[in-house]
Amino acid sequence: MAEAETRLPIKTEKSAAPVPTGWTPFESLRREVDRLFDDFHPFGWHLPTPRSLFNAAPSALSRAGWPVAPAIDLAEKETEYEITAELPGLEQKDVEVRLSNHTLTITGEKKEEKEEKRKDYYLSERRYGSFHRSFQLPDGVDAEKIDATFAKGVLTIKLPKTAEAQKAEKSIAIKAA
């Protein structure tokens, strides 16, 4: 039975704080400290990082086994960026997409309760888990036209490029030496 695709509202928060662009003196230090903590797993479990996939280090992207956060695919197409998150077992009401200060944040929470009462035993299980993923939007994204859909446990967010960003790409001719 096919589930209908549903649209998720994207909540936008306006902030007076400007988004820093370019290099800041402590940015590389912050990235290195983040990387050290990302790579340190004393008990074999990982914590999700709020670092953007648009500027994450390659080692953080290629790391296998992320038990807390959902699998995320990021694709750049000709007219848009597309973020796809696999959220099995979640419903639309369990997921929230927010845009604040040029940062897109996906949060979700799964609650599962199971209770069995039989003649000779009683079983009660509860599992809870939440995740939080943030992405710094690249320049050239039309924030007013971001669209999110949820169907069959997959969240798809389309980030359309502005007309200027689409025209910015050009081919460079390669000359023989």
For the chain, which domains are there?
7-14+68-165 (2.60.40.790)
The share of the chain scoring above pLDDT 90, in percent, equals 16
The one-letter code for the residue type at 67 is: P
Q: Return d(Cα 139, Cα 72) in angstroms, integer.
A: 21
45, two tokens: 């479990």
Note the pTM of the prediction, 2 decimals: 0.56
87, two tokens: 């959220």
Cα end-to-end span (Å), the chain: 61
89, two tokens: 């077992």
- pLDDT score of 66: 38
Give tens-digit pLDDT for 39-67.
665 544 444 544 444 554 444 444 443 34
The one-letter code for the residue type at 6 is: T
Q: Return d(Cα 31, Cα 12) in angstroms, integer.
A: 27
pLDDT class for 131, splitting at 50, 70, 90? Answer: confident
- pLDDT score of 83: 93
Query: Could you identify the residue written with the tokens 């039989």?
Result: 118
In the predicted model, is pLDDT for residue 111 greater than 50?
A: yes
